[in-house]
Structure 1
Amino acid sequence: MGPEKITVAAPSQSFRLRCKSLNSLRLRRIFDMFDKNGDCMITVTEISQALCLLGLEADVAELASMTQSYIRPGNEGLTFEDFVALHESLGDTYFGFVEIAEEEQQESDLWEAFKVFDENGDGYISAKELQVVLGKLGLVEGNMIDNVQRMIGYVDTNHDGRVDFEEFKVMMRATILPSC
């Protein structure tokens, strides 16, 4: 079986975060991850490469078609502002916006983020799992298990060598949510 093909499926509550500044931060990180050459612009090729690294297969022609109307004349790719506009359009068109209590939404968003790191689904993020995800994202820490273990240690309040969902929530809320 080959890589998973991207298709638009049922609405995802985590597609758009309720906190505008948190959503902007998340989009900025995604944009920077896609912008491999650091020119503050992401091309269709860079988007395709990033999706492949995440194990998602995307047809380059479909990506080009989807993004073309968001690329400003004279540019080779999407600026961050163009990327945000594309994201908002996709959200409005395909995912809608489900009204739920803000606390429930934050919990859901955090759970979705946690599951990205908890690759084996055991309810914990181990140093090895964090290292794998960092490596997939092309971050240098993906090659340094000692640094990854230190990262885990900063968050691991019960000192069991791994991060559970409660520890993850405390860390995320302490570093991100207060800025909303």
Structure 2
Amino acid sequence: MGQEKKMTQPSSFRLRSPSLNSIRLRKIFDMFDKNGDDIITVKEISQAMNLLGLEADTAELENLTKSYISPGNEGLAFEDFLKLHESLGEEYFGFMEATNDEEEEEKMKEQEESDLWEAFKVFDENGDGYISARELQVVLGKLGLSEGDEIESVQKMIGSVDINHDGRVDFSEFKNMMRSAIVKK
């Protein structure tokens, strides 16, 4: 071994597309905000992380977030959450400002494709290249979302993006869905 390994960020954190990133962050914020008060507390962040199977030390989370909480709030408002995320991107993940040259644009497109693939794999639990209603239901359930309680509503979700009507969502259909969500933003 002998060589130091440079820490690389997981590709699921490397969303460079501002519109994809904004949607992803809002969904994460809403997932953490269990009581819907537009404030996420350390307790809510910890609960959400535990639901996803990630261990979170409450003291560390509190330490990390306290300087981003606006005065008078008991937790992070969405704007505070964005500042925290931006800070983590700069300090922890080493993000750099993108340039507008063609090479950088191509890299961003490749990165967006990679990000979408990583997101797709979260839902495609069995790795067969398709998201079934059952797989979607399991993920929604893990996130504590009520939509995951009824298979009929999950099947309707699948049907709304299932272009070829095979009862499942392939990667192409998933990309179309994600890109149309960005446009509707």
The answer on 1:157 being equivalent to 2:155 is no
Paired position in structure 1 for 2:153: 147
1:11 is matched by which residue type in structure 2?
Q
Q: Which range is displaced more, 96-105 or 167-176? A: 96-105
2:50 is matched by which residue type in structure 1?
C
Report the CA distance between 1:164 and its aligned residue.
Answer: 1.1
Report the CA distance between 1:46 and its aligned residue.
Answer: 0.6
5+ long unaligned stretches in structure 1: 1-8
Q: In structure 1, how many angstroms separate the alpha carbons of the residues matched to 2:147 and 2:19? A: 26
2:173 is matched by which residue type in structure 1?
E
Judging changes above 3 Å, is the alpha-carbon distance between structure 1 residues 16 and 84 closer, same or farther for their aligned structure 2 residues?
Answer: farther
Answer yes or no: is the 8 Å Cα contact 1:21–1:179 preserved in 2: no
Aligned partner (choices 102, 115, 126) of residue 121 of structure 2: 115
Paired position in structure 1 for 2:131: 125
Answer yes or no: is the 8 Å Cα contact 2:40–2:76 preserved in 1: yes
TM-score, normalised by the number of residues in structure 2:
0.84
Q: In structure 2, how many angstroms separate the alpha carbons of the residues matched to 1:120 and 1:165? A: 14
1:54 is matched by which residue type in structure 2?
L
Judging changes above 3 Å, is the alpha-carbon distance between structure 1 residues 96 and 12 closer, same or farther for their aligned structure 2 residues?
Answer: farther
1:73-128 deviations in Å (ceiling 9; x for gaps) = 33211111111111011111121237652221211111011011111222110100
Q: In structure 2, how many angstroms separate the alpha carbons of the residues matched to 1:89 and 1:16? A: 14
TM-score, normalised by the number of residues in structure 1:
0.86
Paired position in structure 2 for 1:105: 111
Report the CA distance between 1:179 and its aligned residue.
Answer: 5.9
Answer yes or no: is the 8 Å Cα contact 2:25–2:82 preserved in 1: yes
* Dislocated runs of 4+, deviation >4 Å: none
1:171 is matched by which residue type in structure 2?
M
Answer yes or no: is the 8 Å Cα contact 1:127–1:145 preserved in 2: yes
Relative contact order (C-alpha < 8 Å, sep 6+): which is higher? 1
1:116-154 deviations in Å (ceiling 9; x for gaps) = 111122211010000011112222110110111121122
Aligned sequence identity (%): 72
Q: In structure 2, how many angstroms separate the alpha carbons of the residues matched to 1:110 and 1:157? A: 18
- 1:2-151 paired onto structure 2 within 5 Å: 10-97=8-95, 101-151=107-157
Q: In structure 2, how many angstroms separate the alpha carbons of the residues matched to 1:73 and 1:154? A: 43
1:133 is matched by which residue type in structure 2?
V
Paired position in structure 2 for 1:4: none
Q: In structure 1, how many angstroms separate the alpha carbons of the residues matched to 2:172 and 2:111? A: 16
Judging changes above 3 Å, is the alpha-carbon distance between structure 1 residues 179 and 146 closer, same or farther for their aligned structure 2 residues?
Answer: closer
Aligned partner (choices 158, 172, 177) of residue 166 of structure 1: 172
Answer yes or no: is the 8 Å Cα contact 2:14–2:111 preserved in 1: no
5+ long unaligned stretches in structure 2: 1-6, 99-103
Report the CA distance between 1:22 and its aligned residue.
Answer: 2.5
